[in-house]
């Protein structure tokens, strides 16, 4: 059976943490990664705007022959997953449900804390998904984590101080009793070690990137992704040089090239 062609979409670089997990579990698949960097970040934009860009990006990937689309962006999943599903013919996997499901498997207290961007939190998409699996939840926007990660301060005292402020706010208030913390933004896996030091010891950290990769394997069948390493083609809507440079940090290995695409035509 032929190796699958999987489209992975994000507003920028964060989705590359999902691609990294996918490449671990399905190395032979061929990947098309689309980073809509001309419009990032989605985290502070409205539903209408995010849906418009996400659908245009999804159409682009569909035109390139993908058989499955991974929306590797929490904000786009939270705000526009159903719109994207309605706009394309291929199956679409978002990052929120897999993360919520994993949290539900782990939690004994049946209470989760979720950290994400402003737009994802405002949508309450995690709260709804967790509720479906029987978990109570408290959500908190952490708008400084994305710029701190993009500044490269992933092990920096300022980031640790900001993490202490955010985590104190969430665990002191509503999330008392939560025993799982869901990383509801694809940038956050880069500060997972730092967060591990700051978050209360009894709280387990769930990374949506891992859970999403596991769901894709489940849907496509793990056998199809095994074999010699497949190809990776990257597309970006802004600077190719910046995409390759910053993107390599998120993917964990170097990105040689990306193709510049205009989705506003």
Q: Which residues bind a second copy (CB under 8 A)?
A: 37-39, 44-46, 49, 143-144, 146-148, 150-151, 157-158, 161-162, 165, 237-239, 242, 264
Q: What is the 3-state secondary structure (H, E, C) of the chain?
A: CCCCEEEEEECCCCCHHHHHHHHHHCCCCEEEEEECCCCCCHHHCCHHHHHHHHHHHHHHHHHCCCCEEEECCHHHHHHHHHHHHHHCCCCEEECHHHHHHHHHHHCCCCEEEEEECHHHHHHCHHHHHHHHCCCEEEEEECCCHHHHHHCCCCCCHHHHHHHHHHHHHHHHCCCCCCCEEEECCCCHHHHHHHHHHHCCCCCEEEEHHHHHHHHHHHHHCHHHHCCCCCCEEEEECCCHHHHHHHHHHHHCCCCCCCEECCCCC
**Closer CB to a second copy, residue 88 or residue 144?**
144
Q: How far is the CB of 11 from a second copy (least distance, A)?
A: 12
Active-site positions read 73, 185
Q: How far is the CB of 239 from a second copy (least distance, A)?
A: 4
**Closer CB to a second copy, residue 65 or residue 147?**
147
**Closer CB to a second copy, residue 157 or residue 228?**
157
Q: How far is the CB of 265 from a second copy (least distance, A)?
A: 10
**Closer CB to a second copy, residue 165 or residue 223?**
165
Q: How far is the CB of 161 from a second copy (least distance, A)?
A: 6
């Amino acid at each position: 059976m032929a190796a699958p062609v999987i489209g992975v979409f994000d507003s920028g670089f964060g989705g590359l943490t999902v691609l990294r997990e996918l490449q671990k579990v399905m190395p032979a698949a061929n990947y098309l990664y689309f980073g809509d960097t001309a419009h990032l970040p989605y985290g502070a934009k409205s539903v209408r705007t995010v849906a418009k860009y996400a659908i245009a990006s999804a159409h682009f990937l569909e035109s390139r022959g993908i058989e499955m689309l991974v929306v590797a962006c929490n904000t786009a999943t939270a705000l526009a997953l159903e719109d994207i599903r309605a706009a394309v013919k291929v199956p679409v996997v978002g990052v929120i449900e897999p993360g919520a499901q994993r949290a539900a498997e782990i939690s004994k207290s049946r209470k989760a804390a979720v950290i994400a961007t402003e737009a994802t939190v405002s949508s309450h998409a995690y709260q709804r998904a967790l509720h479906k699996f029987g978990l109570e939840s408290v959500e908190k926007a952490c708008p400084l984590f994305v710029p701190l990660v993009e500044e490269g301060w992933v092990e920096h005292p300022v980031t640790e101080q900001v993490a202490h402020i955010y985590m104190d706010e969430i665990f002191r208030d509503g999330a008392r009793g939560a025993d799982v913390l869901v990383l509801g933004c694809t940038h956050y896996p880069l500060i997972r070690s730092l967060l591990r030091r700051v978050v209360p010891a009894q709280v387990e950290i769930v990374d949506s990137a891992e859970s999403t990769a596991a769901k894709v394997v489940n849907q496509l069948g793990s056998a199809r992704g095994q074999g010699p390493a497949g190809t990776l083609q990257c597309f970006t809507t802004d600077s190719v040089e910046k995409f390759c440079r910053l993107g390599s940090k998120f993917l964990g290995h170097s990105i040689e090239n990306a193709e510049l695409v205009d989705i506003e035509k």
